[in-house]
């Protein structure tokens, strides 16, 4: 018994040093040297300013002002999607969240609340596709049945950096019209910034939204 106590105490202390300090320092240290870009989160700078991480989704939205003041809802600034940019997937985390928390939305499969949230997301997606005069950018207009599932369903991490190609293809009409770009150019950007499947088969391809939006800005600076 006494022997076990001594060995346990020594063992836990030594192994804590070895596995809790030495091991993470070793992995992190070598990674910092070997893959500094990845290890630090694939940061993207524009004109020396940090604008985000390549693999963390962000909210391409504008703050809503009323009487010169930012409108606040539940302590968070209210935002409206900026039609000049490809929009990321709906999420509970992204909208102007100022803390680092990521969370699941946890919408159940058989819930009326889920249905209501989906309907709201679908309507927002369709509304964004409409020009100020009410005509849709997407040929023939969008209906719920044409909205890709990833554009209505919330992501898991809340910071999904990608959208499906179908989703990007629909938004391309809006982007091309607002930015006065040929549709073909936008499509070229979509294929350029599509991240393929892992090893060619694992997972689904997706368009990196931050990267394509930055490319758009380089091509035709946002009109704002």
Partner 1 sequence: MTFLGWLTLFLFAGLLTVLALPFGSYMAAVYTGQRTILDPVFGVPERLLYKVMRVDPTHGQDWKQYAKSLIIFSLFGWLVLYFILRTQILWDFTGLNPMHFHSAPWNVTFNTASSFMTNTNWQYYGGETTLSYFSQMAGLTVQNWLSAGVGIVVAVALVRGIVSRSGSSIGNFWQDMVRTILYVLAPLAIVYAFLLVFQGTIANFSSYLTVHGITGIQQTIAMGPVASQEAIKLLGTNGGGFFNTNSAHPFENPTGFTNFLEMLSVLIIPGGLVFMYGKMAGRPRQGYAIYTTMMIMFLGACIVAYIAEAHGSPAQHAAGLHTGAIHGSSGGNMEGKEQRFGIAGSAIFDVVTTVTSCGAVNSALESFTGIGGAVPFANLSASEVIFGGVGTGLYSILMYVLLAVFLGGLMVGRTPEYLGKKIEGREIKLVSLAILITPLTALLCTAIATASRSARALSISANAKGGPQGFSETFYAYLSQANNNGSAFAGYTGFIQPNAGNVGSKGITLADLLGGFDMLFARYAPILFALAVAGALAGKRISPAGLGTMRTDNPTFVVLLIGVIILVGALTFFPALLLGPIVQGLTPHLYN
Q: Phi, psi at residue 136, to the nearest 5°?
A: -75, 145
- Work out whether 20 is an interface residue with partner 1 (CB under 8 A): yes
Nearer to partner 1, 129 or 133 (CB): 129
Nearer to partner 1, 6 or 73 (CB): 6
Nearer to partner 1, 135 or 222 (CB): 222
Q: Which of 83, 86, 117, 137 binds partner 1 (CB under 8 A)?
A: 117
Q: Which of 69, 139, 198, 223 binds partner 1 (CB under 8 A)?
A: 198
Shortest Å, Cβ 72 to partner 1? 14
Structure tokens belonging to residue 217:
């800005």
Say how far apart CA 54 and CA 146 lie, in whole Å.
28
Name the segment binding partner 1 (CB under 8 A); options: 104-112, 133-141, 177-185: 104-112
Structure tokens belonging to residue 192:
């350029």
- List the interface residues with partner 1, window 136-195 (CB under 8 A): 143-150, 152-169, 195
Cβ neighbors of 128 (< 8 A, separation 6 or more) are: 81, 83, 87, 174
Shortest Å, Cβ 36 to partner 1? 9
Shortest Å, Cβ 43 to partner 1? 7
Shortest Å, Cβ 177 to partner 1? 19
- Work out whether 119 is an interface residue with partner 1 (CB under 8 A): yes
- Work out whether 201 is an interface residue with partner 1 (CB under 8 A): yes
Nearer to partner 1, 5 or 132 (CB): 5
- C-alpha radius of gyration, the chain, whole number: 23
* SS3 call for 206: strand
Please name which of 220, 112, 87, 98 lies closest in space to residue 163, comparing C-alpha atoms.
87
Q: Phi, psi at residue 35, to the nearest 5°?
A: -130, 65
Nearer to partner 1, 7 or 135 (CB): 7
- Work out whether 85 is an interface residue with partner 1 (CB under 8 A): yes
Shortest Å, Cβ 131 to partner 1? 20
Using alpha carbons, list the distances in angstroms from residue 215 to 18, 78, 84, 149. 45, 26, 12, 25
- What secondary structure letter does DSSP report for 130? B
* SS3 call for 69: strand
């Amino acid at each position: 018994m006494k022997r076990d106590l001594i060995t346990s105490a020594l063992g836990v202390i030594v192994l804590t040093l070895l596995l809790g300090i030495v091991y993470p320092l070793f992995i992190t240290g070598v990674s910092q040297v070997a893959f500094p870009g990845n290890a630090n989160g694939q940061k993207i700078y524009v004109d020396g300013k940090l604008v985000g991480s390549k693999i963390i989704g962000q909210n391409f939205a504008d703050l809503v002002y009323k009487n010169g003041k930012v409108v606040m809802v539940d302590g968070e600034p209210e935002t409206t999607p900026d039609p000049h940019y490809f929009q990321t997937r709906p999420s509970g985390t992204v909208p102007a969240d100022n803390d680092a928390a990521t969370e699941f939305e946890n919408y159940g499969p058989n819930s009326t609340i889920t249905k209501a949230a989906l309907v709201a997301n679908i309507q927002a997606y369709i509304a964004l596709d409409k020009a100020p005069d009410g005509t849709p950018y997407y040929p023939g207009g969008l209906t719920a049945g044409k909205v890709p599932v990833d554009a209505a369903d919330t992501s898991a991490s809340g910071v999904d950096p990608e959208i499906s190609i179908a989703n990007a293809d629909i938004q391309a009409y809006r982007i091309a019209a607002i930015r006065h770009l040929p549709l073909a150019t936008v499509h070229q950007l979509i294929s350029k910034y599509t991240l393929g499947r892992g090893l060619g088969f694992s997972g689904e391809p997706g368009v990196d939204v931050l990267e394509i939006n930055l490319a758009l800005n380089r091509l035709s600076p946002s009109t704002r």
